[in-house]
Chains A and B, each alone.
Chain A
Amino acid sequence: MEFDGDALTIDLSMSMEEIKEFEAFVRPRIDYIDRIEVEESGVLKSSALLALLASLKKTRRELSIPFLEKGITTSAAYGTIHWICHD
């Protein structure tokens, strides 16, 4: 996880423990973050990350999360995963 100015970059393959750390980090800072980038070199490990990103977006609609907006990720391990995020 890297925080550079207004943008936060996280890793896609976060474990549940890391997701919880991320949640704890972002909660008090959500108003100061404009953009969350997801480094897609890894593979999604928990659906909790999707849910957290969706929650962040619902909490602060102007927050930009390109990965969430993309609505899809593919990998050999899981095939294609789609999500629908109603904001």
Chain B
Amino acid sequence: MTKQEQVKAIFIEEAGEIIEKLDVDIIRFEEDAGNFDLLNEIFRGVHTLKGNANAFGFTRLGEFVHHFEDVLDHYRSTKEEIEVCHLELIVNSVDVIKEVMVCELDALPDLPNDYAGCLEGIKSLIASKKGSPSPSQSQESVAPFADLASEFGLECPDQYENDMTQSIEMMRASYQEGMHIYRIELSLDTDSYKRGFDHLIFIGLLAEKAFSCESFFSLESVPTLETFAADTNHVPKMGIVLLTTHSRTEIEENFEYLFDHEYAIKEIESAPEPVTIVKVEETALPKVSAVAKPSPGSDTSALSNGAKSTIRIDTFKLDELFDSVGELVIAQNFIAQNEKIRLIEDESISRTIETLSKITKRIQDRVMSLRMVAIRDTFDKMKRVVRDTSKKTGKELHLNVLGEETEIDKTMIDSLSDPLIHIIRNAIDHGLEANAQERLAAGKKVEGTITLRAYHKSGSIVISVSDDGRGINKEKVLQKAIERGVISGDENLSDSQIFGLIMQPGFSTADAISDLSGRGVGLDVVKTSIEKLRGKIEIESREGEGTTFSMVLPLTLAIIDGMLVQAAGEIYIIPTLSVVESFRPEQDIVHALKEKGEFVSLRGQHLPIIRLSDVFSLRAERIEPWEGILVCVETEAGRIAIMVDELVGRQQVVIKPLGKALAKLKEISGGAILGSGDIALILNVDELRPMIEAPHAGN
């Protein structure tokens, strides 16, 4: 990838981030339309997006965003209250921007259906607004740029100056280390065309070297046709704002054939002066932006020492680092547990090993924390989903968001959005009562409540979506499951197993299918997606009171909390998330059925016993279940009891992928290197039990 392509990739990524943020901010603004600070922030994002789009030839996006920016600029400068219908247009415009961005990236010839209509709406809005400007407000909007204008020796800031200054501000927002921002003024003589110099030649040369290039022509002094001559330069002044990695000398080389008085180059500081901002927002990603964002009221004294900075790191490098730290932990454990080393009776060696252990743990924790991001951004996106679904279904509702600070593995968060969207839509569309009358009849408020919550529970992360709707009708679910042949009807299913049926493929109890949910394809996909993250979904529901879908996820995808067990001399790891309990059974609760295998009766349930020695064809003396230990685990098909010789302990292990040969063993999901240097296999408990019929009672 060339440097130019790398920069383009960065800009595209940034454009994606800006659009993502716009999507969230616009909903926040819709809720708080008087928040002009927020509107300013939205405007800044849109302006940067415009620059990025145009710099890389995304002209369709650039044009749309340009007009959208005008609308935002009008409202932010006049502080005029935004009418509801116009607010809707603004929200829809963000949707169009998202779609156009996709068209641009995929180089699709067709634009989104709403593009033309929305653009027309924006143009009409701005045209209607421009018809009634408020002079005092216009003056106010110019004022902030007066200082910069005077910096260039201009007595009165005009529109040209204002535009240039805004452009500089936006370049500053896109600034990254190693870049330069230049303001270039061209005052070409009237005979410049005849000498072969056109403004466009210089702009073209500069744009080739720039990540972003904006030019501003003032056509104020162009005369009428009476004194006009096409080959005479009638543009005495124009300005260029450039964001580039090139040095000033390299930029100056472009003007070597011009007279000294025909050009002026000024390098702009990357941060505004005087600096009133110091607080650098800690980003959720393991990156640090080089852009200090102004924060009113923040403490300037922190600028020199206290300001945090961030750098953008390729996640691949982060994964490599994480892997190396995993190796370090294993090596450290090996030293700590090595018998020969432990036999050395030397205090200094013991202390050194202890120190090494502490440092290793600290490094491991810090590297782990690099991957963790707050779930806030994902929750913010869900506000939009709730809003749109509420509008589509016509249901009034309130969204409660709890635990936004909860941190989760970055890799996981990317895969979490789609399942979460589906569950939320499902909760609104089917969880809540169909209409206000139904809610009132049930003694509830007209406004439904959806609660989105993230929290830690027993070393896992739980993300739950609750509604205060009608709850799941167990009878209806059972009836449907029997009709579809999902169950036979003879089973003695627990509540959670019954609710779990709604996540079977093709299962839907919805009487009517909407475009939001109820197609019977979805919850099974949600379940699969969560299981891919080594998590599970739990459903709790009370009829008439509501339903909660909880996604229980491991803290990270790279480390697993496992129960180490021994069977036939081999160590295996059972993910703790699946473990319900372990016990040594009494002889009288163990049963054997011909052609059905062994079962253990546990509080009325009959759990099939799975012998690891049978699964992995291990040569071992066959012992009876009551001579070993049974580990009860929750699987897709219900609970099973894994028979092991003994429990070794509980430990967090770094997951290592298996080679091609072992990867074919569906009963194993990965491997881990233990402190002793031994390798242990991680069990895929869902595959330990084939999809057999539900357990039957009796000997």
Known: A51-B219, A59-B225. 4 other contacts (CB 8 A): A47-B235, A51-B234, A77-B207, A84-B159
Q: Find residues 31-61 in chain A having any chain B CB closer than 8 Å to their own CB.
A: 44-48, 50-52, 54-56, 58-59
A5 touches B (CB below 8 Å): no
Contact A79–B213 (Cβ < 8 Å): yes
Contact A85–B66 (Cβ < 8 Å): no
List residues of chain A with CB within 8 A of the CB of B23. Answer: none
Query: B15: shortest Cβ distance to chain A, in Å?
Result: 14
Contact B223–A46 (Cβ < 8 Å): no
- In this complex, the member of B66, B204, B218, B225 whose beta carbon has the largest number of chain A beta carbons within 10 angstroms is B225
A-contact bits for B38-55, CB 8 A (1 contact / 0 none): 000000000000110111
B228 touches A (CB below 8 Å): yes
List residues of chain B with CB within 8 A of the CB of A78. Answer: 200, 203-204, 207, 213, 215
8 smallest beta-carbon distances between A and B, as pairs: A79-B213, A76-B57, A74-B54, A54-B219, A83-B217, A80-B54, A47-B199, A55-B228
List residues of chain A with CB within 8 A of the CB of B193. Answer: 16, 46, 48
B-contact bits for A60-87, CB 8 A (1 contact / 0 none): 0000000000001011111111111110
List residues of chain A with CB within 8 A of the CB of B230. Answer: 16, 19-20, 22-23, 48, 51-52
Give Cα distance in the complex from A50 to B218, angstroms.
10
A-contact bits for B219-249, CB 8 A (1 contact / 0 none): 1101111101111011100100000000000
Give Cα distance in the complex from A59 to B160, angstroms.
22
Q: What are 26 A-B pairs at a CB distance below 8 A?
A: A22-B230, A23-B228, A46-B198, A47-B200, A48-B193, A48-B198, A48-B233, A50-B219, A51-B222, A51-B230, A51-B233, A52-B228, A55-B222, A55-B228, A58-B223, A58-B224, A74-B53, A78-B203, A78-B213, A79-B215, A80-B55, A80-B62, A82-B217, A84-B159, A84-B163, A84-B219
Give Cα distance in the complex from A19 to B57, angstroms.
25
Query: B244: shortest Cβ distance to chain A, in Å?
Result: 11
Given known contacts A45-B200, A74-B62, A82 and B219 CB-to-CB distance under 8 angstroms: no
Query: A22: shortest Cβ distance to chain B, in Å?
Result: 8
Given known contacts A55-B223, A78-B203, A50 and B231 CB-to-CB distance under 8 angstroms: no
Given known contacts A55-B228, A83-B219, A46 and B163 CB-to-CB distance under 8 angstroms: no
List residues of chain B with CB within 8 A of the CB of A48. Answer: 193, 198, 230-231, 233
List residues of chain A with CB within 8 A of the CB of B207. Answer: 77-79
List residues of chain B with CB within 8 A of the CB of A55. Answer: 222-225, 228, 234
Contact A81–B215 (Cβ < 8 Å): yes
- Which of chain B's residues has its CB closest to A19's CB? B230
Contact B222–A59 (Cβ < 8 Å): no
Which of A20, A58, A72, A75 meets B222, CB within 8 Å?
A58
A1 touches B (CB below 8 Å): no
Give Cα distance in the complex from A83 to B222, angstroms.
12
* A-B CB contacts (within 8 Å), total count: 119
A30 touches B (CB below 8 Å): yes
Contact A82–B220 (Cβ < 8 Å): no
Query: B601: shortest Cβ distance to chain A, in Å?
Result: 74
Given known contacts A79-B54, A84-B220, A59 and B226 CB-to-CB distance under 8 angstroms: yes
Query: B438: shortest Cβ distance to chain A, in Å?
Result: 53
Give Cα distance in the complex from A43 to B521, angstroms.
49
B424 touches A (CB below 8 Å): no
Contact residues of B: prevailing secondary structure: mixed
- Which of chain A's residues has its CB closest to B219's CB? A54
Query: A45: shortest Cβ distance to chain B, in Å?
Result: 6
List residues of chain B with CB within 8 A of the CB of A84. Answer: 159-160, 163, 216-220
B214 touches A (CB below 8 Å): yes
List residues of chain A with CB within 8 A of the CB of B219. Answer: 50-51, 54, 83-86
List residues of chain B with CB within 8 A of the CB of A44. Answer: 200
Query: B341: shortest Cβ distance to chain A, in Å?
Result: 64
Which of B66, B160, B200, B216 meets A46, CB within 8 Å?
B200
Query: A41: shortest Cβ distance to chain B, in Å?
Result: 11
B-contact bits for A12-23, CB 8 A (1 contact / 0 none): 000010011011
List residues of chain B with CB within 8 A of the CB of A50. Answer: 217, 219, 235
Give Cα distance in the complex from A23 to B159, angstroms.
28
List residues of chain A with CB within 8 A of the CB of B214. Answer: 79-82
List residues of chain B with CB within 8 A of the CB of A56. Answer: 225
B583 touches A (CB below 8 Å): no
Query: B231: shortest Cβ distance to chain A, in Å?
Result: 6
Give Cα distance in the complex from A30 to B224, angstroms.
12
List residues of chain A with CB within 8 A of the CB of B216. Answer: 81-84
Give Cα distance in the complex from A43 to B225, angstroms.
24
Query: B502: shortest Cβ distance to chain A, in Å?
Result: 51
B81 touches A (CB below 8 Å): no
List residues of chain A with CB within 8 A of the CB of B55. Answer: 79-80
- In this complex, the member of B200, B210, B220 whose beta carbon has the largest number of chain A beta carbons within 10 angstroms is B200
Give Cα distance in the complex from A74 to B104, angstroms.
14
Contact B231–A77 (Cβ < 8 Å): no
List residues of chain A with CB within 8 A of the CB of B204. Answer: 77-78
Which of A16, A27, A45, A47 meets B225, CB within 8 Å?
A27
Given known contacts A20-B231, A47-B238, A55-B234, A81 and B224 CB-to-CB distance under 8 angstroms: no
Query: B683: shortest Cβ distance to chain A, in Å?
Result: 55
